[in-house]
Chains A and B, each alone.
Chain A
Amino acid sequence: MKTLRQRYSVPLTIMMLVVAFLCVFPIIWLILSSFKQPNELFSYPLHLFSADPTLVHYQNILDDGFMRYVYNSFFLAIVGTLITLAISSLCGYALAIYRNELKYVNFVFGIFLLGTLIPGETLTIPQVSVISALGLYNNIFGVILPVVTSTTGIFLFRQSYMSLPSSFVEAARIDGANEAKIFTRVMMPLQTSSFVTLTIFSFMWRWNDYLLPMLVLSDQDNFTIQVAIRNYIGTTRIDWSSVISSSVVSMIPVIIIFVILQKYIIGGISAGGVKA
């Protein structure tokens, strides 16, 4: 048998590096622009680097109290993600483990799948009615609780628990462990990679949420980064200076979290993966 050659092809590698670079280039361009003087933003010829770099655009948004919005976005993303992890892992587990035992399991699963078919944007107004009725208007939990149920998360956990041999559960049952214990002691610890994957996704979704926060939060102190960006974009006059700097600030946390945790998902979402 021929040994597998580990020789890299230089042209192929360069080609892929170019593709990868093109993918991040628009972002790099935005970041470089954010350090330009206000009049450089709109003057030809365009230059990659500013002749006279400035932090004035960042100073502007800081003066508008941007750190408060950053804090709120973190709160929303962290709390939302923790709740999503907790309830999706429970739900996905139950849908996987009991699927052959109880008749209505797949019916319950079908109800969750319905969620992917209806465009969320069209439901926001009745959603806000429900949020108000529950007294969650202008409350950060009013924008967290409605979105923490994630069909993707449930799906992810269901698939990965399905891939574990059912003998694990049977053996634990024979040992006399109750169902809750089987979940927390036996099954859950085997799912690190699903937890990490969903952490990345969920953090990103919550960090980037904007329609519901815009409608539900009515106090400047409760605004999130995305609502602030939306306000800078405004409706008739776009404030490019603040839009660019606030957009750049908004990217940093998700990119950092992704780079730290990426080894868990960048290898590909296998074992059933994210399916809905």
Chain B
Amino acid sequence: MRKAFSVIAVLLVSVMLFASGAGEAESSDTLQVMLTSEPGEGDSLFTMLQKWADESGVQLDTLIIPDDDQLQRFPLMAKNGDLPDLIVTTRLTRLYPDEFEDLGDVIDISIFEPQALTIISEDYNTTANYCLPYEFTITNVFYNKTAFEKAGIEPPTVEDPWTLEEFRENAQILQEKGGVRYGIAMDGSRARYDNLMYLYGGSMVEKEGDSFAVTVNGPGSVAALEMFVEWNNSVMPKAVWAGGTSDNPSDYFTNGLVGIFFSGSWNYNPYTQNIKDFEWGVIPSPVGPDGSRSAILGGTGFAVPKEAENKELAYDFLTWFYEEEHFQEFLNLDKGLSSLKDIIYEPSDEKIASDYAVMQAEAANVQDAFNIDESSMWRNYYDNEYRDALRQAVYGDLTPQEALDGFAKRLADKSGWSLKYTV
């Protein structure tokens, strides 16, 4: 026993020495970047970061924190004075604007596509720009061309898009004749459902003087949810939206289980690399009951914390990144929409070019209601609860009216906004 202890003690001491030797001091030529997922091979942003680091002789130190975990971990990091120099985020600047530098002082913001700047920065209460867009995305619809051909369905075009009913009917046909298990799938992000809500004229809130009124339980929103529940019961993988699975519907699509997949432009690039077993493409989004259209913009941006150690390096990178030559290079890798006004992605491949045109046409479909909902920042009050309400409706525990009434009441209570439609 004694012998064992001394062996263990020696081991322990050596392990500790090794550990302290490995501990590195943050040097002044290391840029620490916080990303939301492990950059895969050929990740467009990471490629650019590396290129910049090589050119300028700077070390890169990445820190991976998934989007949802950021909410808990960012405050802890900030409290401990341990913030990275550059943060890739979708919402931290909305939640904690005081913690970030105004990047308008670093980059000339007139180079940005105004919509990209507004949506990604979410700086609704200030003239400052805490978050600069780089990845600009839009909701769009993918389809399984092979399944369409098998079912004898002609895909819609930008000139002649399908209505919601046509989507529903063809989804049924795809299931019966197209060899797919699900006519339609939507990825689990709420924005996919929100598009349906806007098509029906629904919204989360409305402007009311200087404040807002909660409208999430209005007739449009309820009708949209009713239709959505019906779709889930007939032509969609219901478990995804009822919330009982951690399956990723994007896997369903890439594995050929789905005919029509409502997702977003960020999937285009990965799909060109991963889908080998069938032909696929992009079709325009549905037309709503009164001829309306809807698309939702999103994306990711860069932010620099005030307390970061090597802010200058982060600024250097940003300046370099938004230079025309470098941004063009990034865009060619990313194959997405451009967040800069004067730089666009021009695909040489014919198929990609036509798909790209369909995706770009969606940008005209963004509704004012979406912009107002965004500017209210209602998600600062309740977020998980809205998702839960939708889940309960899809699962069938609550009727759409009940689910939305319940959430509307909670949101109004918490935010102090009035309820437009009584519960």
A touches B in complex, CB < 8 A: yes
Cα(A231)–Cα(B66), bound, Å: 6
Instruction: Tell which of A78, A82, A128 touches B76, judged by Cβ atoms closer than 8 Å.
Output: A128
Interface residue ranges of A211-263 to B (CB < 8 Å) = 214-216, 218-221, 230-240, 242
Contact A237 B248 (CB under 8 A): yes
Contact (A188, B67) CB under 8 Å given A43-B255, A237-B250, A239-B38: no
Contact B76 A137 (CB under 8 A): yes
A/B pair count, beta carbons within 8 Å: 82
Flag whether A105 is at the interface (Cβ < 8 A): no
Interface string of B274-286 (1 = CB under 8 A from A): 0011000000000
Flag whether B37 is at the interface (Cβ < 8 A): yes
Cα(A215)–Cα(B61), bound, Å: 19
Contact (A238, B62) CB under 8 Å given A79-B15, A218-B80: no
Contact A221 B68 (CB under 8 A): no
Contact A232 B76 (CB under 8 A): no
Interface string of B60-71 (1 = CB under 8 A from A): 011111111100
Residues of B within 8 A of A78 (CB): 11-12, 15
Instruction: Tell which of A39, A74, A188, A220 touches B1, judged by Cβ atoms closer than 8 Å.
Output: A188
Contact (A218, B64) CB under 8 Å given A64-B38, A82-B8: no
Flag whether B109 is at the interface (Cβ < 8 A): no
Interface residue ranges of B118-143 to A (CB < 8 Å) = none
Q: Which residue of B lies closest to A185 (CB)?
A: B2
Cα(A248)–Cα(B66), bound, Å: 21
Interface residue ranges of A123-165 to B (CB < 8 Å) = 128, 132, 137-138, 140
Cα(A202)–Cα(B16), bound, Å: 19
Contact (A215, B72) CB under 8 Å given A78-B11, A132-B79, A238-B246: yes
Chain A contact patch, size range: 35 or more
**Minimum Cβ distance to chain B for residue A138 (Å):** 6
Interface string of A160-201 (1 = CB under 8 A from B): 000000000000000000000000000011001001000000
Contact (A82, B12) CB under 8 Å given A132-B80, A218-B76: yes
Q: Which residue of A lies closest to B252 (CB)?
A: A42
Flag whether B364 is at the interface (Cβ < 8 A): no
Flag whether A112 is at the interface (Cβ < 8 A): no
Residues of B within 8 A of A264 (CB): none
Cα(A239)–Cα(B246), bound, Å: 11
**Minimum Cβ distance to chain B for residue A36 (Å):** 14
Instruction: Tell which of A39, A132, A137, A231 touches B65, judged by Cβ atoms closer than 8 Å.
Output: A231
Using A220-B61, A235-B69 as known contacts, list a sample of 9 further A-B pairs with CB atoms less than 8 Å apart, ordered by residue number in A: A137-B80, A140-B19, A218-B82, A220-B62, A220-B63, A235-B67, A236-B188, A237-B250, A242-B38
Contact sample, A vs B, 16 pairs, CB 8 Å cutoff: A39-B276, A74-B15, A78-B15, A82-B12, A132-B76, A214-B69, A215-B73, A215-B76, A216-B76, A218-B73, A218-B76, A221-B22, A230-B69, A231-B37, A235-B66, A239-B37
